[in-house]
Amino acid sequence: MQPILAGKVAVVTGGASGIGRATAELLAAQGAAVMIVDLDESNAGAAADAIAASGGRALALRADMREEGQVQAAIEATVAHFGGVDLLDNTVSYNAPEQTGADGEIHEMDAAIGNRALEINLRGPMLAAKYCIPQMLKRGGGAIVNISSTAGILSLGTVPAYAASKAAVHSLSQSIATAYGRRGIRCNTIAPGFIDTPTTRNMGDQFFQMTLDNNVLPYLGQPDDIAQAALFLLSDAARYITGQLLAVDGGQTIHLPVVADMWRMAAGKPLVETA
């Protein structure tokens, strides 16, 4: 059976590690030629090398997604090397650990951190779309997936700039879907829940356990769970889906906040753990 993305060219921003790398590898395994665009040149190159070693086609380019000239150059290089662009997966994201403290409350928020979150999480995907869409139109259409977050659906009460930027990502997807649908371009959003990556591991075991306590499914998501959703939305199997937000979160956003406490009560456990 022919791979479902045979003959397609995909751009994956933020593809050096975690969700982005898993997505780049899966798209390549399904036949797409993949350009990995990331600020982390070393790991992006390693990801491209791993794809090539598995028989796929991939290149890596370093680009700061805040800089329009660098984004434009990356897309132009993709076209020069692979002949065009059919698919765009915007996984690029800024969720640095320092946000937890410095961006914890709006009245204490470091404006520079807030600006950086908006520039990378929103401006980056917008710039990638700006330069990929004309290439997609030349090929009769294409598909875009923008990666948001469940923090953009329901508030954590912290990281307001990160959350606002991720909420705005879905508005961007809807705008693209509306403006370009009649010209053959679809655009959707994925909102991952808590995914087990090296970055999230830095948040500690306690946060992992809190997430498990509030998930409907009894396990944490893996990068490939998001990659599989992206593959579906980018493929022709999702040809009638556009402008939608898909939460891939283990059921994190489907219930009232008291559910975890109700489960504890049913198990005969105290609502508040005592020493």
DSSP states along 247-265? EESTTTTSS-TTHHHHHHH
Length of the chain measured in residues: 275
Instruction: Give the residue ranges of DSSP H helices in the chain.
Output: 18-29, 41-53, 68-82, 99-102, 111-118, 124-138, 160-180, 198-201, 205-214, 223-234, 259-266
- In angstroms, the CA 103 to CA 165 distance is 13
Radius of gyration of the chain (CA): 19
The yes-or-no answer on residue 162 being catalytic is yes
DSSP at 119: I
**Whole-number Å distance between alpha carbons of 30 and 19:** 17
Among 67, 52, 83, CA closest to 116:
67
HSE, CB side, 13 Å, CA atoms: give it for residue 243.
10
Cβ atoms 92, 40 nearer than 8 A: no
Neighbours of 180 (CB within 10 A): 20
Distance CA 20, CA 159 (A): 22
In 10 A of CB 248, how many CB atoms? 20
Q: How many CB atoms lie within 10 A of CB 3?
A: 14
Q: Which residue among 94, 131, 162, 180 is the active-site one?
A: 162
Task: Show which residues are catalytic.
Answer: 162
